[in-house]
Structure formats: C-alpha cells, structure tokens
Structure 1
Amino acid sequence: MEESDIVKDIEKKTRLTSLKKYMWGPNILNLTLIIMVSQQQFLGRLSLLSTVLLLISIALNGITLIFFSKEIRYEENQQGIHKPFNKLTIRLLIFIIIFFGAITIGYFIR
C-alpha cells in the first residue's frame, strides 16, 4: 500500500498544502517589519543600527519566501498544475517595490 500511486499523490498534495501554509508567517513578519521601518515618524524613531537590522531581516525573510515559492512551484509542476502567469515573479516585484519604498520613506523621515 505504501508504494501505490494514490498514497504518493496524497503525500504530494499534503506537502503542497503544508508549503502554502508556511508562506503566511514570513509574509506577515515582512509586512510588520516594513511598517516598523517606514512609519518611524509615527511609531517612534529607531537607531540606525536597529533600522539596518530590520532591513536585513526583511531581506532574509524575502529569501525564505523565494525558497518556499520555488518549492511550491516545483510541487505544482510535479502534480501537473500549471498557472497562466508566474506568481513568484509578481510577488518578488511587489516585495522589491515595498522594500525599497520602506527604505526610502524611512530615510526621508529621519
């Protein structure tokens, strides 16, 4: 029973579902960190070191998101799920825009 195609298919679907759940944590954390960096005028000023560390954390979370996105895309390809456009590229562009926007806003608020 362990080697059957049905069991393998269920395991692949379970892995894909788990990977999609893991995407929420880094996304929410990045959003929170971006708000902290960009809204220093309202939330209180951070030191330069704190700001740099937050920006590094955002970048590292971005790398985590890219990893999970690639794993999800791989699993979808293995299951024959084809998307009409590349969501990873769109998410990456949105992340880059928000990331550099936060840096710019945080810099000019100081």
Structure 2
Amino acid sequence: MKRYLILIAYEPMDWSTASEEVRAQFFEQHGAFSAYVAEHGKEVASAALDDADTATTVRHVDGEVVVSDGPFAETAEMIGGYYEVELPDLDTAIEAVKLLPPSYSLEIRPTISIT
C-alpha cells in the first residue's frame, strides 16, 4: 500500500448559509469517498480546517523569523481540509477523489519516509 495526502482546496463559502440540500450532497460525497477508501485501503487521518483567515504563517526572511496572520499564498482558493489514505496505487487514489464534491480542486501527493 502507498500512503497519499489529499489536499482539498475550494473557493471560500459561507457554510452557515448553505441549504440543507447542499450540505446533504457534500456529506454524501464525502461518505462515498470514505466508503471507497475503506473498500480499497484505509483512511489514516482526515480533518476539516478552519478558514484561511485564521492561519498563521511563519517564514525566515534575511535570517529573521517573521510571523504573520493569514495564509502563505495569495489565492482565491483556500485549503479547507485533507485526507491521509493508504491505497494500492495512484489510479485508485484518483478514482477515490472523483467521488468528492466537484467544486473542489484536489491535490494528491504521495508521502515519503525521511529517516
């Protein structure tokens, strides 16, 4: 099995104003993803992230540590969550993410062991 980190990016939206139908569809699609992963491998970890405006970025600039509010990159999309999964191969990971909401941009990255 290979371990993959799946980063979920999307246009910010106000979840509190989403209709019950929209919420149900998102939960159904995440459920289908989780069921597919369970059938073909396993989910190691997952989490939703708070809004990008709650981020803190730490950089090294000219030998100094600079701490600033907000995300590292200026972008219209924000990273809103992730899944860490173990699946047989990239093709299986691609099939799994196809089940997530189509409004997402999804990045699949194999993890590596640094020892």
Check whether TM > 0.5.
no
Structure with the higher strand share, 1 or 2:
2
Structure of higher CA gyration radius: 1
TM-score (ref. length: structure 2): 0.32
Higher helix share: 1
Larger RCO (alpha carbons 8 Å, 6+ apart) = 2
